[in-house]
Structure 1
Amino acid sequence: MLDETRIMRALTVRGITPDARQREAISALVTLVGAQQRARHAWSTAAFGPQGVYCHGLPGRGKSLVVDTLFELAPCRKRRLHFHEFLREMNRRLVHAPRGDDRLGDVSRQWLDGIELLCFDEFHVHDVADAFLMGRFVDTAINLGTRIVLTSNYAPDDLLPDPEFHKRFLPTIAQIKRCFTVIHFDGARDYRFGGEAAEVPRFFAPLDTTSEAALREIFTSHERGAVIGSVNLSAAGRPLEARAAGRALLWADFEQLCVARRSHLDYLDLAEQWQGLIVDRLHTAALRQSHTLQRLVWLIDIFYDRKRALFIAADQPIETALIGLEGAHDLSRTLSRLAEMQSRAYRSTLERRGDDNAQDGIDAGASSPGI
């Protein structure tokens, strides 16, 4: 039986004492899951209150932490994913779906089949095409009785902020406000800042022989026996020349990763192939180009969400270079995540892989296929 006490206890183990808004969200989430369980035995799901919980607020206020804890404990058929990943899956299905009067609705119903609880992390709508897709998807999910939990840096009224297109999304915004419990995480503390620094540095500046030696040590410690040398690869079908590639760790220059023409699909592909990425030779002047900056934001978001390792060598500290820049969505979230990724609290799949191998009596540097 899922109750508030179990969630509070799980958060306490992680060193979190929930504030008022977090407790409000915990209560709403427990109510949501309880309603979903009761709906299994009813003819109608609409009789059991809101069908979703929408948690929004500034980065690092504990939204994902609370929702992830609920998700781990919820006793139902469930799925949690990042918004980028969802869009990729939906668009792939739409390409192959047969034509019909309600193609998007048909694909949405197929995608939702068997899911009782759906959690979207970092929900946002900046593109009118995504807005159209998301509007029909939300309609379908509500009609099916799927319980939905969204975390976002945006209040519902601030979704699709482009004044040219905002009106087109107003019906979906109204539906979210009508069918979801909306909770504003307004705490003053960003939980990602102030953590104990990682034992081994992950970000390096400036670009000099010391940084080069540190990156080489990182690569060889995880990829013992691997050859360091140029290799031609691909990301989502686009060519990528890397400095070195092991079975778990990729080493590539920023020019190849973010200055070259890429999309979030490239970074999803890389995060699926490797458990860690070394971003080398990041010349921060390039971040003044909005497309380049946005690509870096996508890369960090996706690797953070997958809990992949990220090592960066730049000509100046990356956080310093990002402060005050414009031209990319959700830059404040990126700074918050970078702070956590440098802390001891951030445990990547690359590090956990090493721990597991050591416990099994295997050389911790031995490689295994990327996930």
Structure 2
Amino acid sequence: MLDETQIISALAARQIVPDATQRDAIAALVTLLGANGNGHRLKANFARAHQGVYCHGLPGRGKSLVVDTVFELANCRKRRVHFHEFLREMNRRLVNEPRGDDRLGSVSRQWLDGVELLCFDEFHVHDIADAFLMGRFLDTAIGQGTRIVLTSNYAPDTLLSDPEFHERFLPTIEQIKRCFTVIHFDGARDYRFGAEEAARPHFFAPLDPATRDALLDIFVRYEGNETLESTTVSAAGRPLVARAAGAALLWADFENLCVASRSHLDYLDLAEQWHGLILDHVHTEWLAKAHTLQRFIWFVDIFYDRKCALFIASDQPIEAALSGLEGAHDLSRTLSRLAEMRSHGYRNTLDGTAGRVETGATAVQTLAQPY
């Protein structure tokens, strides 16, 4: 059976020693999974028939780290899902669900079929449509006894903060507080900042010939081809003009990916097709537009969740350009994740593909456009 010692040992193998709050979460998760804990003080609190754990706090405090470690070790029928992926699946099912009195409840039960443990990463509710869907889904999951783990940057009481709609989500908030052990990750330090940089840079500025040569070197390293030409790929069924598209790595411009009208569905599709992406020609003044900034945040969230590699070329350092911007949800999480994605410790699916591109893979590359 899973116990706290196993989890702490798994973290130690990655040179991580859990802090006090992370240990609280580990104890609650072990109890949720029905294993024998070590008499931790949270055990008595959890005994009140809670069937979930809600981990919340600022970015980089170790919420996903702890939950993902427990998830990997858990021996049961389990599912881990990110918010955007979940919405896509639910909406696809709803389109095909016959009319009835409770279509959302029916689709929720279908989605949950066979899932004993559900880990829902980056749980958030920003609009009333998502609130209605999530409320019914959680009600269904709790009703049929699914064990649930949620990670979030938001305390339960701050979900759907829009004053016009917040009151309508209060029943779900109260249900979360009643049925979940709520753990506040309140550490002062964002562990993603200050990590050792990757051996090779991932973010480049300014947009000059040296940056273009560095991006070309990255593409050749993974794709093994220097003959470049532009191409058009599919993103959620819609065309996307790219500078290059190899077997593992896509090279595309920021204007086409985030300035143009795109959705999280496009980014999910791209993250499923490629192990990494070169995001080129980022003119940072575009980020001052709320819709563009929100698309960039979705893009980073999805590529981070799928453990894809990300390389960025911008007219000024991307993190400095993002600092202090307003007009979009969850920007602090984006900055935290970008810090990890450029670090030596970021484990991504592109690593290991260099030099192993399949014979006959499409070699497509960039127009000879100078910066």
Q: TM-score, normalised by structure 2?
A: 0.92
Note closer, same or farther for the CA distance 1:369–1:109 as it changes in structure 2 (3 Å cut).
farther
Q: Which residue of 2 aligns with 1:24?
A: 24
Conserved? CA contact 2:247–2:358, under 8 Å: no
Q: Which residue of 1 aligns with 2:283?
A: 283
Output aligned runs, 1:228-247, within 5 Å. Answer: 228-247=228-247
| Secondary structure of residue in 2 paired with 1:197 | coil
1:368: Cα distance to partner?
A: 9.4
Q: Aligned pair 1:341/2:341, yes or no?
A: yes
| Secondary structure of residue in 1 paired with 2:98 | coil
Measured in 2, the distance between the counterparts of 1:49 and 1:248 equals 46
Conserved? CA contact 1:248–1:367, under 8 Å: no
Q: Which residue of 1 aligns with 2:365?
A: none
Code of the residue aligned with 1:61 in structure 2: it is R
1:226: Cα distance to partner?
A: 6.5
1:234: Cα distance to partner?
A: 2.1
Structure with greater proportional helix content: 1
The C-alpha deviation readout for 1:170-209, integer Å capped at 9, x for no partner, is: 0000000000000000011211111111001010000000
Conserved? CA contact 2:276–2:310, under 8 Å: yes
Q: Which residue of 2 aligns with 1:113?
A: 113
1:238: Cα distance to partner?
A: 2.1
Measured in 1, the distance between the counterparts of 2:97 and 2:227 equals 43
1:109: Cα distance to partner?
A: 0.3
1:47: Cα distance to partner?
A: 8.9
Q: Which residue of 1 aligns with 2:356?
A: 364
Q: Which residue of 2 aligns with 1:8?
A: 8
Q: Which residue of 2 aligns with 1:125?
A: 125
Q: Aligned pair 1:165/2:165, yes or no?
A: yes
Q: Which residue of 1 aligns with 2:254?
A: 254
- CA-atom RMSD in angstroms: 1.8
Conserved? CA contact 1:125–1:160, under 8 Å: yes
Q: Which residue of 1 aligns with 2:369?
A: none
Measured in 2, the distance between the counterparts of 1:352 and 1:295 equals 29
| Secondary structure of residue in 2 paired with 1:34 | coil
Note closer, same or farther for the CA distance 1:246–1:75 as it changes in structure 2 (3 Å cut).
same
Measured in 1, the distance between the counterparts of 2:69 and 2:359 equals 31
Measured in 2, the distance between the counterparts of 1:154 and 1:48 equals 23
Measured in 1, the distance between the counterparts of 2:361 and 2:68 equals 26
Q: Which residue of 1 aligns with 2:136?
A: 136
Conserved? CA contact 1:118–1:147, under 8 Å: yes
Measured in 2, the distance between the counterparts of 1:289 and 1:66 equals 35
Q: Which residue of 1 aligns with 2:303?
A: 303
Note closer, same or farther for the CA distance 1:338–1:367 as it changes in structure 2 (3 Å cut).
farther
Q: Which residue of 1 aligns with 2:103?
A: 103
Measured in 2, the distance between the counterparts of 1:328 and 1:368 equals 42
Conserved? CA contact 1:82–1:120, under 8 Å: yes
Measured in 1, the distance between the counterparts of 2:156 and 2:56 equals 8
Conserved? CA contact 1:202–1:311, under 8 Å: yes
Q: TM-score, normalised by structure 1?
A: 0.92
Conserved? CA contact 1:264–1:298, under 8 Å: yes
Name segments (4+ residues, structure 1) moved above 4 Å. Answer: 365-370
Note closer, same or farther for the CA distance 1:369–1:171 as it changes in structure 2 (3 Å cut).
farther
1:364: Cα distance to partner?
A: 3.4
1:369: Cα distance to partner?
A: 8.0
Code of the residue aligned with 1:93 in structure 2: it is R
What is the identity percentage for the equivalent residue pairs of Structure 1 and Structure 2? 74
Note closer, same or farther for the CA distance 1:368–1:146 as it changes in structure 2 (3 Å cut).
farther
* Count of matched residue positions in the alignment of Structure 1 and Structure 2: 353
Q: Which residue of 1 aligns with 2:63?
A: 63
| Secondary structure of residue in 2 paired with 1:353 | coil
Q: Which residue of 1 aligns with 2:190?
A: 190
Note closer, same or farther for the CA distance 1:314–1:367 as it changes in structure 2 (3 Å cut).
farther
The C-alpha deviation readout for 1:279-329, integer Å capped at 9, x for no partner, is: 000000000100000011111110011000100000000000000001111
Code of the residue aligned with 2:140 in structure 1: it is T
Conserved? CA contact 1:226–1:246, under 8 Å: no
Measured in 1, the distance between the counterparts of 2:144 and 2:80 equals 18
